Structure 1
Amino acid sequence: MSNLSLIIEERAADIGNFMVGRLLPFRQKRMVGPFAFIDHMGPANLKAGENLDVPPHPHIGLSTLTFLFEGSIIHKDSLGTEIEIKPGAVNWMTAGKGIVHSERTPNYLREKEKTLHGLQIWVALPKDLEKMDPTFSHIEKDEIPQWENDGVSYKLIAGKAFNKKSPVPVHSDLYFIELKSTKRQKISIGKHLYGESALYILEGKIYNENHSYDPKQILVAKDATLCEFEMEENTTIYIFGGEKFPEERIIHWNFVASSKEIITEARERWKKQEFPKVPGETDFVPLPN
């Protein structure tokens, strides 16, 4: 009996002047634990003058997790944050009742050739925290718990697992873990996981019960506690999941909420430009129909 309940293929999506691979939400699986949305950015080889420019746009009811493999992004938000994120670091922005942010290529790279590659993730907030005040945290690469076990290197990017805790200030029980292999290796980590669980293959290959799985796929487990598989050598995967919320979440544009009323209110606020502004930014992403 296979422990896989669903295989999700990466699907192309347009985020303005940039194409990404959309992984979540998926029509048969809207969320995995509190994880509501995952985009795989790139790898995009950008020419001189070709840049990432996502103008100010709003969020409510979620935390964003930005994790880069290559390249650099300047994050600016309505709290007054302005910070450059580089590979291996984590930007963790909690929108709560409302935040606005922009994401752009840094000035020093705009007229150079560069590569941009990473993951952008939304984690829904528990119902009692949906309307909390917004916050922002930046965690440097060397602050992330890292360890090795039998030829596999692990990073606990966010959450709790393996009796370890990431410094990323999450708001519910979850985990986001990187595994990198140097040799073909059997992995059995079910006892360290909880709630719902899924596995994203960035590069390499995974074997599970006489089947092989390739990059740009998410494998959703039926039971996190049965998580066993083999990694091919030079494979990188991300395992994510956690405890599911008792209530459904509505995902509409950049908003995540437990009710349609909260979404409608956020739409009206953005339409009337009542969200806080990002200092130094004048343009914005208009509300879609």
Structure 2
Amino acid sequence: MSNIGIIIEERAADIGNFLVGRLLPFREKRAVGPFVFIDHMGPADLKDYQNVDVPPHPHIGLSTLTYLFEGAIMHRDSLGTELEIQPGAVNWMTAGKGIVHSERTPEYLRHTDKRLHGLQIWVALPKALEDTEPSFAHTEAQELPRWQQENATFKLIAGEAFGRKSPVPVYSPLYFIEIKNTSKTTLHIGEQLFGECALYILEGGITNDGNSYGTKQLLVAKDSTLCAFEMEENTTLYLFGGEPFPEEHFIFWNFVHSDKAVIEKAKQDWTEQKFPKVPGETEFVPLPMAPFKK
């Protein structure tokens, strides 16, 4: 019997600049461990007149994780952070009680052809830290733990697993792992994982209990401790998961929280422009009208 409980196909979502592939949330699976939102950006080929310009927008109750495969994004936030995200590095922004940030094509790329490809991830915060002070942490690519195992190359992007710990300052037990290979490889790694677990195939494919799976699929395991599969040659995949929270988390727009009243207050504060400002930015994104999502 297969250990795969749910198969989630990428669904196109318009973020205002270009289409992304949405993986989480999904109607049958709102979260995997503390991971509540995952978008696959691109790969997008942008012309010299096309740029990413996500204007200042707010977050509460979560940490964002930006991880690029190709391209660059200039991050600016209400803490005064101004930093370019490069492939392989990790931007970890904790919203807590409230933060505002923008994401744009860096100035030196705005008049040339370019390519953008990566993952945008939201990680919910545990109840005791949902309203913490906002913060920002950047981890360079070379600081992430890497190792070889069973003819595959592993990289621990965030969290703890395989007896290793990423320097990214997470707030609950979780893991986000990149695995690559060049030749067929069989992995038995369930004993190294915990909580809920999902596998995203970026390139190549895997086989599990006689079933084959390919790109743009998110596979949610029934039991992380039974995680075993065969990777086809030249496969790149991402494992992520961890301990789920005991309380339910709600999502409205860019707000995540276990208390709907806090989200309602954030909606009002944003409408009345009471959130902190991003230095040098003046655009304002109106609050959308949409229902809560579990």
Q: What is the correspondence of 1:53-132 to structure 2 with a 5 Å cutoff?
A: 53-132=53-132
Segments of 5+ residues of structure 2 without an aligned counterpart are: 290-294
One-letter amino acid of the counterpart of residue 70, structure 1: E
Aligned residue in 2 for 1:42: 42
Aligned residue in 2 for 1:218: 218
Q: Deviations over 1:90-149 (max 9, x none)?
A: 000000000000000000000000000000000000000000000000000000001112
One-letter amino acid of the counterpart of residue 137, structure 2: S
C-alpha RMSD of the superposition: 0.5
One-letter amino acid of the counterpart of residue 269, structure 2: R
Q: Deviations over 1:222-242 (max 9, x none)?
A: 100000001001000000000
Instruction: Tell me the distance in 2 between the aligned counterparts of 1:231 and 1:223.
Output: 19
Q: What is the correspondence of 1:181-196 to structure 2 with a 5 Å cutoff?
A: 181-196=181-196
Instruction: Tell me the distance in 2 between the aligned counterparts of 1:127 and 1:279.
Output: 30
Cα displacement (A) at 1:23? 0.3
One-letter amino acid of the counterpart of residue 37, structure 2: F
Instruction: Tell me the distance in 2 between the aligned counterparts of 1:203 and 1:2.
Output: 21
Cα displacement (A) at 1:284? 2.3
One-letter amino acid of the counterpart of residue 253, structure 2: W
TM-score (norm 1): 0.99
Please state whether the residue corresponding to 1:8 is helix, strand or coil.
strand
Q: Give the paired residue count.
A: 289
TM-score (norm 2): 0.98
One-letter amino acid of the counterpart of residue 187, structure 1: L
Please state whether the residue corresponding to 2:264 is helix, strand or coil.
helix
Identity %: 70
Aligned residue in 2 for 1:277: 277
Whether the aligned pair in 1 keeps the contact of 2:150 and 2:187 (CA below 8 Å) is no
Q: What is the correspondence of 1:173-188 to structure 2 with a 5 Å cutoff?
A: 173-188=173-188
Q: Deviations over 1:73-98 (max 9, x none)?
A: 00000000000010000000000000
Aligned residue in 2 for 1:205: 205
Aligned residue in 1 for 2:248: 248
Superposed structure 1 runs of 4+ greater than 4 Å apart: none
Instruction: Tell me the distance in 2 between the aligned counterparts of 1:82 and 1:151.
Output: 39
